Chain A
Amino acid sequence: MIGPARVLRAAAALQIAQLSANLFMLFCVFVQPLFIAVTAMYILRHRPDFDPMYVVVGAGLSGLWSVALFDGTWAVQSERWQGTLELIAASPAPVMLVVGGRMLGSMAFSLLSMVVCYAVGAWLFGYELVVRDPLGFIVAFAFGLFSLWSIAVLLSPIGILWRTAARFLNVLEYPVYILAGFLFPILFLPGWSNPVSNLLPPYWAAVALHGTAAGTLSRPELMLALLVLVLASAIDLLLARSLLQMVLRAARRAGTLSLT
């Protein structure tokens, strides 16, 4: 029996190697957050209460979300296209572990978007970037990343089970940037959309990260955000497990594990 840690590590390493050669994902991690960060810096710097860290966090989150969305939706599909889904299904390692490992690699890779955005603020614009609640920020970052990873894992079976829905999911990149308030408060949105925002884990990740970076989030508020992130992640992972099993059952029954 292969140890779970070894499966996770091997899947993550393979994923990072694949992403490093994928121009579209490189665009999502490096180019898009860079342009968004620069554009947002120029637009928002006129605010009297401008904090460049707000842009760094918001634009960085956009990179994390894009990777979770696109890579998650494509994770199982790509195994099928590459002809490796049969091998994964037949291996003794649980599929959930393999997909989880791959998404772990994706999320680790997506951290580079935060680095890019930090570089934009610190070097390109020369701002002094200050995190006012470093401990809270680190905790919020870990929980936020975990929640995005859970969403990516959940998206992977959806991407293959309901392909029309998956096509719709691909369009959710910008709507989540908007509804989660990555670069402006959701108060700018119509009131009816606020409950939708409250249901989105990226919104709570943004609340926790923006709040701890600016030092404006009290401990109870931070705890609430973290609690929502943990609950949402638990639901995502439970659903993902059931859906992945459904994918394998359906594919075995129909004999469509492979496209070749």
Chain B
Amino acid sequence: MRLFAVNALYSYKALFRWQSPEAYVLQKMMFPLIQLTFFALIGQFGGSRPLAFYLIGNCIAVAFRPMFSITTAIADERNGGTLPFLIASPASRIVLFFGRATLHVIDGMFDIVVAFAFAIVVFGLRLPDSSLPGMALAVLVASLAACGMGFFLGALAYVVLDAVFLANVVMFALLLLTGANIPLSELPAPARAFGEALPLTHTIAAARAYAQGLELEAGLPLLIGDVILGLLWALGGFALFTLLEHQARRRGTLEAV
């Protein structure tokens, strides 16, 4: 438990190694809101869907923020020179790997809530009171599922070498393929299939349904689907990290993994 808590705390504090308070506000909080505005306005200009379609989709997609944090938290072990210590330590890999997400999940939920508040104040998004429990659950699932993707990307960054590039590409893939801006039915079949495998796709659908008055229980299968997907991506990341660790030990390339 102690290892889990310490790992979660320091992984979150590490975020502020590269982010000063003003950078936190400008880059981490303002950037997603401005990006949301950009795509919502394109959507409004396109006119094929109501503005709420784009607002809700892009608010949930703000969950890409904790994904970035997790990805860099894992990949930065190499840049910080701490990877060999991590690999040599007797600590449980599962606790080390998954403990990192705890505070980022909460931070991600905060980002999404701020995005919704922004959409309500600036664009006049209306959410019925009855939708609030479902929306709250969708916010939690979005953050959790995006963190799951972050675990995978963090491990993959050891192969691809540039975590930020990787996370940026996936951020745009999420905006394009999860239905945040384009209904899945309009995408070609392979893109649609890939979109279904991404976290957030089902959460966005659930959030839109809740906004239209769907009962909490009716949206649960969609949310559970994204929890499972997030977990699968996270386990995939853990498996990849374990494989790379095994190879690094065998080849004596701990720094490079």
Give residues in A with beta carbon < 8 Å to B: 23-24, 26-27, 31-32, 35-36, 38-40, 42-47, 164, 167-168, 170-171, 174-175, 177-178, 183-185, 188-189
Binds A, one of B5-13, B32-40, B64-72: B32-40
- Is A188 a contact of B45 with CB atoms below 8 Å? yes
> B177-195 toward A: CB 8 Å interface, digit per residue (1/0)?
0000110001100000000
29 example contacts (A-B, Cβ-Cβ < 8 A) are as follows A23-B165, A24-B164, A26-B165, A27-B169, A31-B169, A35-B173, A35-B175, A36-B172, A38-B176, A39-B39, A39-B172, A39-B175, A39-B176, A40-B42, A42-B186, A43-B45, A44-B46, A46-B46, A167-B22, A168-B26, A171-B30, A174-B31, A174-B34, A174-B37, A175-B34, A177-B38, A178-B41, A184-B45, A188-B41
Interface of B is mostly: helix
Q: How far is the CB of A247 from chain B (nearest CB, A)?
A: 22
Complex Cα gap A32–B22 (Å): 25
Chain A residues whose C-beta falls within 8 Å of the C-beta of B48 in the assembled complex: 43, 46-47
Q: Are A27 and B168 also in contact (CB < 8 A) when A167-B23, A174-B35 are?
A: yes
Q: Which 6 A-B pairs have the closest CB atoms?
A: A46-B48, A184-B45, A35-B172, A43-B46, A174-B34, A42-B182
- Is B26 a contact of A184 with CB atoms below 8 Å? no
Q: Are A23 and B162 also in contact (CB < 8 A) when A39-B176, A42-B181, A183-B45 are?
A: yes
> B140-157 toward A: CB 8 Å interface, digit per residue (1/0)?
000000000000000000
In this assembly, does B134 line the interface, its C-beta being within 8 Å of a C-beta of chain A? no
Chain A residues whose C-beta falls within 8 Å of the C-beta of B182 in the assembled complex: 39, 42-43
- Is B46 a contact of A178 with CB atoms below 8 Å? no
Residue on B with the closest CB to A48? B47
- Is A43 a contact of B30 with CB atoms below 8 Å? no
Complex Cα gap A189–B42 (Å): 11
> B159-174 toward A: CB 8 Å interface, digit per residue (1/0)?
0001011001100110
- Is B41 a contact of A164 with CB atoms below 8 Å? no
Residue on A with the closest CB to B26? A171
In this assembly, does B43 line the interface, its C-beta being within 8 Å of a C-beta of chain A? yes
Interface of A is mostly: helix
Residue on B with the closest CB to A40? B42
In this assembly, does B247 line the interface, its C-beta being within 8 Å of a C-beta of chain A? no
Complex Cα gap A194–B182 (Å): 28
Chain A residues whose C-beta falls within 8 Å of the C-beta of B165 in the assembled complex: 23-24, 26-27
Q: How far is the CB of A222 from chain B (nearest CB, A)?
A: 23
Chain B residues whose C-beta falls within 8 Å of the C-beta of A183 in the assembled complex: 38, 42, 45
Complex Cα gap A35–B173 (Å): 8
Q: How far is the CB of B181 from chain A (nearest CB, A)?
A: 5
Chain B residues whose C-beta falls within 8 Å of the C-beta of A24 in the assembled complex: 164-165
- Is B38 a contact of A174 with CB atoms below 8 Å? yes
Residue on B with the closest CB to A178? B38
- Is B42 a contact of A184 with CB atoms below 8 Å? yes
In this assembly, does B253 line the interface, its C-beta being within 8 Å of a C-beta of chain A? no
Chain A residues whose C-beta falls within 8 Å of the C-beta of B37 in the assembled complex: 174, 178
Among A24, A43, A45, A47, max chain B CB count under 10 A is at: A43
- Is A170 a contact of B164 with CB atoms below 8 Å? no
Chain B residues whose C-beta falls within 8 Å of the C-beta of A40 in the assembled complex: 42
Chain B residues whose C-beta falls within 8 Å of the C-beta of A43 in the assembled complex: 42-43, 45-46, 48, 181-182
Q: A174-B31, A184-B45 are in contact. List 15 more A-B contacts (CB 8 A).
A: A23-B162, A24-B164, A31-B172, A35-B173, A39-B172, A42-B181, A43-B46, A46-B46, A46-B48, A47-B47, A47-B48, A168-B26, A171-B26, A177-B38, A189-B41
- Is B172 a contact of A44 with CB atoms below 8 Å? no
- Is B22 a contact of A184 with CB atoms below 8 Å? no
In this assembly, does B27 line the interface, its C-beta being within 8 Å of a C-beta of chain A? yes
Complex Cα gap A24–B47 (Å): 33
Complex Cα gap A38–B176 (Å): 8
Chain A residues whose C-beta falls within 8 Å of the C-beta of B168 in the assembled complex: 27, 31-32
- Is A171 a contact of B47 with CB atoms below 8 Å? no
Q: How far is the CB of A213 from chain B (nearest CB, A)?
A: 17
Complex Cα gap A127–B22 (Å): 44
Chain A residues whose C-beta falls within 8 Å of the C-beta of B102 in the assembled complex: none
- Is A32 a contact of B172 with CB atoms below 8 Å? yes
Q: Are A171 and B34 also in contact (CB < 8 A) when A35-B176, A39-B175 are?
A: yes
Complex Cα gap A44–B49 (Å): 11
